[in-house]
Structure formats: C-alpha cells, structure tokens
A and B are shown apart, each in its own frame.
Chain A
C-alpha cells in the first residue's frame, strides 16, 4: 500500500503507524455523561466496509499525523490530509462544518 503523504510524497505503508477511526472526537471530560461518552469514544467503532477515515502517523518520515480516506474493501486511498490542517481550516471564518 502506498500512502500519498502530503509532506513526503507517496511512501510505502510500512513507514507509517496506524491508529484507526478518524471520525471520533474526544468528548468533553466535564460533561455529565462523560463516562458514557468516553466509553463510546474509546471502544465503539463504526468499522465500515467501504469508505473509512482513519489516522496514520508517518513514523519513519515527517512524523505528521494524516487523515486518510481509504476504502476498507479495496484499500484504495482517496485522500490524505494533514491532521493539523483541520484545525486551521476550522478556525478560519466561514469554514464549512
């Protein structure tokens, strides 16, 4: 599998470490139902057969966390974006979502 690292170019997947589902958000620890929310966050997964957003870390490269969009049936990679870009975009006025 070749991962198109936005910083380093396409690299073999063995340079990367995999973490998993990138659609999860760490819950508010102060919420009244924090225990339930953390249970879902830490343990429950959609685990879809198909398009999957997931975290990969370029351990033997730029050491950046990437959000990949990959099909779990074909392993085809649709997109690889740096994790941090999400934040900067979200911070931008008028950013979608």
Chain B
C-alpha cells in the first residue's frame, strides 16, 4: 500500500488497524531467473533495481536470518562520497545521487539527512592529503571544501581546540554527506522489490550450489533446492564462506568492527565528524543517541563482537576530540563482520564460474554504497557488463595490479 497523508490520517482515525505487511514473507519457488543470496541492503537494492530498471521480476532474495540482520542493521549509518581514487569516486557519487532521491523513489522515509561530514586534519601532511582528495572530488563533480581551523571552530566550537595533543588544523567538508536510517533503507527496498514481484525468502540459508559443469544453475538451501538462471552473492561479512561452497577463494578476510551508541540526548552534533589523529567518528541520530565508532578489532573474526582495547581506543578518541562527552554514557556496543578486501575496495564482478556473480569486499563502507551497489550489481546481472561507475571493481585487479588502495597500506586487510 502506498503511504500518503491520507493513509496516515485514515489509519490514525481507525485505530491503526488498516496496515498491511510491508513485504510478503515468501516461500521459495522451485526456480527463478535470478537468485540473490543475502537479504541485506545490497541484496534487496539489487532486487529492486533488477525489477525497476531492467524489468526482471522473477527474482528471489534469500536470507539466512531476517532481512537486514547483517551489516545493514549494524553500521553507523553514514553516507558520503568523499573518495580519492578514480576507481571509487564516481561510484560513491552515483550512490549519493541515488540517496538524494531515495525517499520519493521508494515512498519510504529512510531519513536521508545531508548534514555534512567533516574530516579533521591535524598536520600539514594530512592537510595536503585532504587537499588532494578534495580536489579529486571536485574533478569528479562532487562538492568538497577545505576548511581552516577558524571555520572548523565556527562550525563545532566545542571540539578541543585549546588543549589538544594533536591540534585541529582544519577539515575537509562534504556538505552533501550525512546519515540515513539504516533499517529503513532495508525495509524500503524490501517493500519496493516485493511490490514489483520479487520474493523475499527469510530463514533460508544457502548450503551449496547447483552446478552443471562449471556453471552455477541454482542453490541448495535449508528450505530446499532452488534453480536459477543466475545466482548473485551479496553476503558481505560471509562472502568467503559462501564462495567457498562454490570452490572459490576470495581476496577477503572477515574482521569485526564495533559500533557504539550513547543514551539519547538533546541535539549535540549536527553532522558527522571524523577525528584525524585517532580512530573515531561520530554523529547523532534523529532519536538523540550519539552514534560512533573507530577502528576494526584487527583479527579475523566471525563473532559479531569485539574486545575492550578498541572500546577504550574509541572512547579516548572521543574524549580527545570532544571533552564535553565525558559524562555521557555509552548505551550499547555491537560488532559487525566486515568483508575486508585486500586493497580496501569492493568487488562487483562476474566470477570464474558462469552464472555466479559477486558483490563483496565492502570493508566498513558498505552502507553508504547500498543504492549504487544495488544499481550496479543489477546492471551487471541484467546486461552482463559492468556499470560505468563500477568498472574498476573487478575481481582480477589483484592479478593485474590495478588496485584501488585509498589508504596505501597494501595487501593487509586489517589496515584498510
């Protein structure tokens, strides 16, 4: 059903009894044109754009748990397109453009809120690196501003300007960046895909692949065998495990990233701030909680939880940046499993196995990519060719050396 003032009014007056399921809890059919493995933001967006843009509606999204149970519901909700390298920047900007029209597109309020992201710098070298990045963004037609210390102070006067170990010198600002309500993105895409005929199958875990020769022609699941013309993986965090069922090894390690939310507060921070002298970034949700995070724990993990040293490191970064938060309380912490790729950038590509497509390696940046990831993956699945903004996300780039290494740390996933 379409959401409008009228539907809200009618339901308000009738005791909220008229609402119908946002999406059908479908049972799997024996066969589909396309099966998307993974009911997170990326998988659901892929299904939505397959149906919407390419008219491919005989599609199932299969999810081992409930939709949005992975990183889609475990991130810090930041959206931005402030990338340096030409392999990344057009893609993330395309994503930002899709974010900007998302609510109207989906008739669902995902609370996309462009309150800006400010990356602080604390040294001349960092300033130069941010200038390089900001200029690269401008060349790609993306907004960026390099602020000096005075302008940063005018924006966020409560940051530690006078007693800092690493004094704030300025920041790179992308005003169009911001946050979105992560769960709503999942639900909005699910609802949109469902409306267009896509089956969303929950509690359905892939246990193997159906093969004809090299080709992948379906999946074995906990809910039976399902055949498919094409099988597309969007299972970040578990990409290696699922790919291993098809005999593939990937350039990916799974690592845990912790995230944190404080108790609800009246407005403290308007936009997103990242600390440049430690691992810490922070924003405030519309509900009032400070949402923040830092570095990954740094060791292979599938445990969806981390350890105290990183918790402390994040709090230290927070206090170094904003000493007014000392008496605010951490309410909850959780961990998500990141597909840490070997160069820190994602993969949207065909695999060596005909019929099997891969969307993986999002590191800790997958949420902001959700719309474009879905768009470009759908494009690849439907047309067989990469979308123009995602052409660099090839699986063979590690072989050819066309890496997309924003940080320049090389083949060590826990440093990206």
Interface residues of B in 391-406 (CB under 8 A from A): 398-399
Does A27 sit at the interface, judged by CB under 8 A? no
Query: Smallest CB–CB gap between A58 and chain B, Å?
Result: 14
Whether A75 contacts B301 by the Cβ 8 Å rule is yes
Q: A44-B249, A45-B253, A46-B244 are in contact. Are A20 and B301 (CB under 8 A)?
A: no
In the assembled complex, how far is the CB of residue B388 from the closest CB belonging to chain A, in whole angstroms? 26
B47 at the interface (CB under 8 A from A): no
Name the distance in Å between A48's Cβ and chain B's nearest Cβ.
8
Do residues B253 and A49 form an inter-chain contact, with CB atoms below 8 A? no
Q: Which of A13, A18, A43, A75 contacts B251 (CB 8 A)?
A: A43
The interface size of chain B toward A, counting residues with CB under 8 Å, comes to 25
Is there contact, CB below 8 Å, between A47 and B303? no
Please name all residues of chain B whose beta carbon is closer than 8 Å to the beta carbon of A73 when the two chains form the complex. Answer: 302-303
Whether B240 lies near A14 (C-beta < 8 A) is: no
Given contacts A18-B414, A20-B412, A20-B414, contact A47 B307 (CB under 8 A): no
Flag whether B71 is at the interface (Cβ < 8 A). no
Is A42 in contact with B301, judged by CB distance below 8 angstroms? Answer: no
CB of B306 to closest CB in A, whole Å: 9
Taking a contact as CB atoms under 8 Å apart, the answer to whether A47 and B309 are in contact is no
* A39-B250 CB under 8 A given contacts A13-B309, A20-B414: no
Report the minimal beta-carbon distance from A93 to chain B, rounded to whole angstroms. Answer: 35
Contact of A43 among B241, B244, B309, B398 (CB under 8 A): B398
Cα A41 to Cα B304 with chains together (Å): 27
Number of residues from A at the complex interface, CB < 8 A: 28
How many Å from the CB of A19 to the closest CB on chain B? 7
Known: A45-B240, A45-B249, A47-B254. A14 touches B301 (CB 8 A): no
A-chain residues with CB within 8 Å of residue B240 when the two chains form the complex: 45-48
Give chain B's interface secondary structure class: mixed
- Residues from 46 to 66 in A contacting B, C-beta threshold 8 Å: 46-49, 52, 54, 56
Question: What residues of A have a CB within 8 angstroms of the CB of B302 in the complex?
Answer: 49, 72-73
- Interface residue? B342 (CB, 8 A): yes
Q: Which B residues between 280 and 311 are near A, CB-CB below 8 angstroms? A: 298-303, 307, 309
Residue of B nearest to A74 (CB): B303
Q: Is A86 an interface residue when CB atoms closer than 8 A count as contact?
A: no
CB nearest neighbor in B for A12: B309
A20-B413, A36-B399, A47-B253 given; name 11 further pairs at CB < 8 Å. A21-B253, A35-B399, A43-B398, A44-B250, A45-B250, A45-B251, A47-B254, A52-B300, A54-B300, A72-B302, A72-B303
The 10 closest A-B pairs by CB, nearest first: A47-B240, A14-B309, A43-B251, A43-B398, A44-B249, A49-B302, A18-B299, A43-B342, A72-B300, A42-B411
